[in-house]
């Protein structure tokens, strides 16, 4: 199916080319209205071309309307205010498009050639996942799903931090303080404990730092025992992460951690030297930038070791050689903005001109301290999900929900609420977590959308109509509004994707659910008969489809019953 806007552009543009010329017609811009008195769509074409055409805007609008082409799509065009043109869409067209939604591929007109590689979640090995990883994981996953829907071939890559200096410290901790029993039971907790222990002990005894550095050096030069330990730490960490990912319905296509790029880094450095991009400074290799706001960055230390920037450059080099890149997307918190500006600028200077976007996000806080951290202790992601599930279960019990599958339902609602609370806020601002709002059944939250979905399901079940024909007859504005709202779905997904803003999709879904609920509260669906009943039920079914699909693009599951 084509987006409604696309049909409109085609019709109106042809008309404008006939009236004026190609160049002028290119300035056609059509916008959805949010007040049906002004039609369904509106254009300010007459106003922005008044100067070029040397005519009053209203005069231009009259000219356009005079021989306006007939079509099944447009029922009425009229002039408003200083020269806006309001466009009204026909019910038949809305009905026909609605039939296609979900049954036909959508033409988005995007350049989807090649691979979109999205790098998200990417925790540092040997540390349990904490709430700091939530946003990257959830936002990255949503963008991945949205891009696939838009027709891109997407590779989700978990760029694990598996090559940092933490390994030297861990090896020292392992040799000195490992509690073998605990390591067997809760390996990642034990690794975290010895890591913290190392930090504390090395404050008292600085020699430990030198010892850890030596272990790290041995690891990097291939020492057998240290390599074995390193692999083991990665393995137990991944096992732990997998549990969380599974619970959150998150998966990846590749798990190339930083270590994967180790051997490529020296080639990057060679490129940088050959192209005169990096220079020696006190033994270190440094890159400086034209932009004064961007600090110099070291790509190789004087002791020969490489840095985070070097590994990200090696990663781009690898991807260029192994994929046909459409674009690279990196999802991390806002503190890495400088890092990615440096990486992208260096890559551009190397002639690696593929599109690269840093999708960054703000920090996360809790509104009431109910779930605040014990001093200095980060909240583990597992604890957060457990808490969300418990709260959801409480609410289900309060609402007298069917006790069957209570735990499973609570898990879907709880995890969904956490994801939605993250995705529905402006990505770049700090977000505040508020359990009450997150789990509310009547505000901008996933339980509200899931509940609306379940409500539609039970309505359809009650109708006893097994096979609903898609014939659409709109008997009132509630129905027509709902239908028009449903057609906005593809566009909402596209805008969310192109801007890397999942909140544009949540806003849309919230509005859709509200539109549905006002239809539901005002139209007695099951009192209708014959084709009127079928039309209303078809609208309900299509709403359920869009809600489910939309939530699914956010990584959130629906429930048939709540």
What are the residues binding ligand ARG (CB under 6 A)?
119, 122-124, 159, 161, 312, 330, 332
Q: Residue 124 Cβ, how far from ligand ARG at the closest point, in Å? A: 5
Q: Residue 141 Cβ, how far from ligand ARG at the closest point, in Å? A: 15
Residue 420, CA atoms < 13 Å, CB-side half-sphere: 32
Pairing of strands 355-361, 325-333: parallel
> Sign of torsion, CA 183 185 188 192?
negative
Distance in angstroms (rounded) separating the CA atoms of residues 393 and 71:
53
Distance in angstroms (rounded) separating the CA atoms of residues 98 and 1:
10
Q: CB-wise, 259 or 332, nearer to ligand ARG? A: 332
Q: CB-wise, 215 or 312, nearer to ligand ARG? A: 312
Q: Residue 219 Cβ, how far from ligand ARG at the closest point, in Å? A: 18
> Sign of torsion, CA 93 99 105 110?
positive
Tell me the chain's radius of gyration from C-alpha atoms: 28
Q: CB-wise, 151 or 161, nearer to ligand ARG? A: 161
Distance in angstroms (rounded) separating the CA atoms of residues 562 and 548:
14
Q: Residue 179 Cβ, how far from ligand ARG at the closest point, in Å? A: 26
Residue 502, phi then psi, degrees to nearest 5: -55, -25
Q: Residue 164 Cβ, how far from ligand ARG at the closest point, in Å? A: 8
359 Cα distance to chain centroid? 9
Q: Residue 344 Cβ, how far from ligand ARG at the closest point, in Å? A: 11
Angle at 19 between CA 17 and CA 22, to 5 degrees: 25
Q: Residue 416 Cβ, how far from ligand ARG at the closest point, in Å? A: 25
Q: Which residue is nearest to ligand ARG (CB)?
A: 161
Q: Residue 466 Cβ, how far from ligand ARG at the closest point, in Å? A: 50
Structural tokens at position 4: 């409604």
Distance in angstroms (rounded) separating the CA atoms of residues 126 and 123:
9
Neighbours of 206 (CB within 10 A): 8
Q: CB-wise, 40 or 312, nearer to ligand ARG? A: 312
Q: Residue 275 Cβ, how far from ligand ARG at the closest point, in Å? A: 22
Structural tokens at position 254: 């590749």
Neighbours of 187 (CB within 10 A): 18
Structural tokens at position 286: 């440094």
Q: Residue 108 Cβ, how far from ligand ARG at the closest point, in Å? A: 28
Contacts of 476 (CB under 8 A, 6+ apart): 522, 523
Q: CB-wise, 91 or 333, nearer to ligand ARG? A: 333
Q: CB-wise, 159 or 380, nearer to ligand ARG? A: 159
Q: Residue 236 Cβ, how far from ligand ARG at the closest point, in Å? A: 18
Cβ(168)–Cβ(212) below 8 Å: yes
Structural tokens at position 508: 């849309």
Q: Which helix (H) or strand (E) holds 359?
A: strand 355-361
Q: Residue 201 Cβ, how far from ligand ARG at the closest point, in Å? A: 24
Pairing of strands 115-119, 325-333: parallel
Q: CB-wise, 161 or 362, nearer to ligand ARG? A: 161
Cβ(444)–Cβ(422) below 8 Å: no
Q: CB-wise, 144 or 541, nearer to ligand ARG? A: 144
Q: CB-wise, 124 or 481, nearer to ligand ARG? A: 124
| C-alpha distances out from residue 276 to 240, 271, 281, 286, 303, Å | 44, 8, 13, 11, 21
Q: CB-wise, 73 or 343, nearer to ligand ARG? A: 343
32 forms beta bridges with: 41
Cβ(400)–Cβ(376) below 8 Å: no
| C-alpha distances out from residue 453 to 188, 294, 392, 558, Å | 39, 49, 17, 7
């Amino acid at each position: 199916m084509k987006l409604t806007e696309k049909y409109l552009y085609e019709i109106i543009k042809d008309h404008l080319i006939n009236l004026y010329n190609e160049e002028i017609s290119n300035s056609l811009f059509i916008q959805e209205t949010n007040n049906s008195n002004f039609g369904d769509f509106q254009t300010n074409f007459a106003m922005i071309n008044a100067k070029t055409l040397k005519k009053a805007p209203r005069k231009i609008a009259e000219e356009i309307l005079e021989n306006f082409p007939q079509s099944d799509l447009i029922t009425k065009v009229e002039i408003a205010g200083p020269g806006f043109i309001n466009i009204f869409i026909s019910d038949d067209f809305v009905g026909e498009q609605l039939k296609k939604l979900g049954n036909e591929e959508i033409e988005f007109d995007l350049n989807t050639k090649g691979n979109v590689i999205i790098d998200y979640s990417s925790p540092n090995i040997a540390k349990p996942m904490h709430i700091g990883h939530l946003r990257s994981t959830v936002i990255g996953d949503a963008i991945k799903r949205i891009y696939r829907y838009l027709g891109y071939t997407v590779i989700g890559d978990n760029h694990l931090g598996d090559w940092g200096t933490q390994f030297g410290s861990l090896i020292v901790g392992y040799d000195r303080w490992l509690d073998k029993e605990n390591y067997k039971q809760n390996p990642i907790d034990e690794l975290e404990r010895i890591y913290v222990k190392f930090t504390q002990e090395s404050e008292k005894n600085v020699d430990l730092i030198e010892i850890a550095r030596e272990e790290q050096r041995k690891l990097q030069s291939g020492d057998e025992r240290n390599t074995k330990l390193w692999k083991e730490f990665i393995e137990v960490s991944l096992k732990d992460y997998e549990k969380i990912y599974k619970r959150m319905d998150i998966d990846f296509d590749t798990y190339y951690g930083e270590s994967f790029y180790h051997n490529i880094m020296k080639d990057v450095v060679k490129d940088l030297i050959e192209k005169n991009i990096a220079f020696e400074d006190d033994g270190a290799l440094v890159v400086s930038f034209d932009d004064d706001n961007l600090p110099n960055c070291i790509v190789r230390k004087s002791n020969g070791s490489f840095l985070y920037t070097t590994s990200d450059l090696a990663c781009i080099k690898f991807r260029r050689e192994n994929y046909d890149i459409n674009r690279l997307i990196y999802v991390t918190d806002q503190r890495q903005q400088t890092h990615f500006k440096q990486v992208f600028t260096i890559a551009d200077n190397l002639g690696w001109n593929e599109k690269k976007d840093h999708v960054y996000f703000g920090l996360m806080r809790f509104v009431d301290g109910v779930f605040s951290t014990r001093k200095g202790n980060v909240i583990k992601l597992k604890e957060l999900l457990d808490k969300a599930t418990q709260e959801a279960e409480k609410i289900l019990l309060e609402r007298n929900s069917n006790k069957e599958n209570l735990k499973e339902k609570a898990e879907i609602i709880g995890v969904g609420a956490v994801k939605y609370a993250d995705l529905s806020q402006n990505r770049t601002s700090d977000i505040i977590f508020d359990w009450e709002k997150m789990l509310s059944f009547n505000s901008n939250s996933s339980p509200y959308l899931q509940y609306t979905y379940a409500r539609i399901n039970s309505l359809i079940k009650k109708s006893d109509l097994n096979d609903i024909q898609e014939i659409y007859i709109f008997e009132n504005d509630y129905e027509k509004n709902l239908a028009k709202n449903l057609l906005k779905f593809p566009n909402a997904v596209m805008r969310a994707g192109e801007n890397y803003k999942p909140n544009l999709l949540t806003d849309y879904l919230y509005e859709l659910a509200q539109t549905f609920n006002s239809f539901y509260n005002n139209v007695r669906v099951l009192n209708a008969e014959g084709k009127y009943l079928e039309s209303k039920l078809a609208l309900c079914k299509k709403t359920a489809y869009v809600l489910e699909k939309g939530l699914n693009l956010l990584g959130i599951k629906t429930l048939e019953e709540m």
